[in-house]
Amino acid sequence: MTFRTPYPLHHLMLDDVRGAQKMLSGVARVTAMEGSRHLSSLVGAPVQLKCENLQRTGSFKLRGAYVRIAGLRLEERAAGVVAASAGNHAQGVALASKLLGVHATVFMPVGAPLPKVAATREYGAEVRLHGHVVDETLAAAEEYARETGAVFIHPFDHRDVIAGQGTVGLEILEQCPEVRTIVVGVGGGGLAAGIGLAVKSLRPDVRIVGVQAEGAAAYPPSLAAGHPVAVESPVTMADGIRVGRPGDVPFDLVREYVDEVRTVSEDALSSALLLCLERAKLVVEPAGASPVAALLTAPEDFRGPVVAVLSGGNVDPLLLQRILRHGMAAGGRYLSLRLRVTDRPGALATLLAVLTVVDANVLDVSHVRTDPRLGLTEAEVELHLETKGPEHCREVEDALRQAGYTVLV
């Protein structure tokens, strides 16, 4: 059994989004809009960042969850609500339920990051860990709803959820009335659908661009087919948009109101996250950085003023560490090398002297002297270096080769 909305597309209108905005007054923050000089210089027009990463619970999800739960009948509220999520939706449902006095049960995968599990519990939800992938967790939540009568709160496939997410679009028009392009990450499609409906109803000239990760891009084939198409085993670091199939309700709205859905690489996502941290001083999760990744990948494609929606900032510290290192490598700021050297006293010092000349900062050194692959007089050195960009990386490799070293990686 799946939980789909019974409402056709034409029942969701601008007035629904405006009603959601009134409902969210005093509940959800009107999040800040921050300019980015670096992105503006790349695009050749003003770029503003809509900071939903600074929303309560750390993402836009509170908006839709609150509107959905607030719209329940008294007997439905008494039965409680249930949701399945690895993070942002879980926290949005937990806080919305607490504010509305409704009991919430949230199913999360066994491997969900501990900070997200702890936050969901602290917001007042009962957390149940089940399954190792979101599909298993979702099935458990749906079974719980059937057994208990609790109302299942879908993360994106419901008109009330979409109306709540659409309030982001109304805020953008109020904060940046001259906007020409809005760029937003797309998973199931709830946020893009809501923003598209709200903005296009008032400003049909504004271009809406959705962004998906290359390894989890269900919308391009779905739009080409004219109906939702599932992508098997979506893979991306951007767990917030790692959705294998578009929602039925948001799909129709995205098809009508979103001008284009494009994809970005994992390298672009990590570089975008690093840029947000370094240049904008904003902690953003990979899904939230996807609009910035699109701007970095093809800045000439966007007509300004541009608003990029940073949809969330809930990133596990361990994942953040790995992503930052990946982003530094993608940007030529981090270089890993393996070299063969002669196994004699002073060989390592001589190698490090070469790196000193080219101003490469050594972060880590691994020196292997006993390995079946090595000759009797050989040793292998693995280096992790901090560098200053792609040109500096090439300069380092050239200097090592000129010094007589065999660079393996």
Maximal CA-CA distance, the chain: 80
Q: Which tokens go with 183?
A: 């760029």
Q: Is omega for the bond preceding 317 within 30 degrees of 0, making it cis? A: no
Cα 185 → chain centroid:
7
Beta strands in 41-193, from DSSP E residues, in sequence order? 47-51, 81-84, 104-108, 126-129, 151-152, 181-185
In degrees, to the nearest 5, what angle opens at C-alpha 314 toward C-alphas 313 and 315? 105
Let me know if 311 is a catalytic residue. yes
Rounded to a whole number of angstroms, the distance between the first and last alpha carbons of the chain is: 51
Q: Of the residues 36, 40, 222, 311, which is catalytic?
A: 311
Q: Of the residues 50, 61, 116, 200, which is catalytic?
A: 61
Let me know if 265 is a catalytic residue. no
- Distance (Å, whole) CA 27 – CA 21: 10
Q: Is 151 left (phi over 0), alpha (psi -120 to 50) or beta?
A: beta
Whether 56 contacts 28, CB under 8 Å: yes
Question: Could you give the 3-state DSSP secondary structure of residue 280?
Answer: coil
- Distance (Å, whole) CA 314 – CA 368: 39
Residues acting as catalytic residues: 61, 311
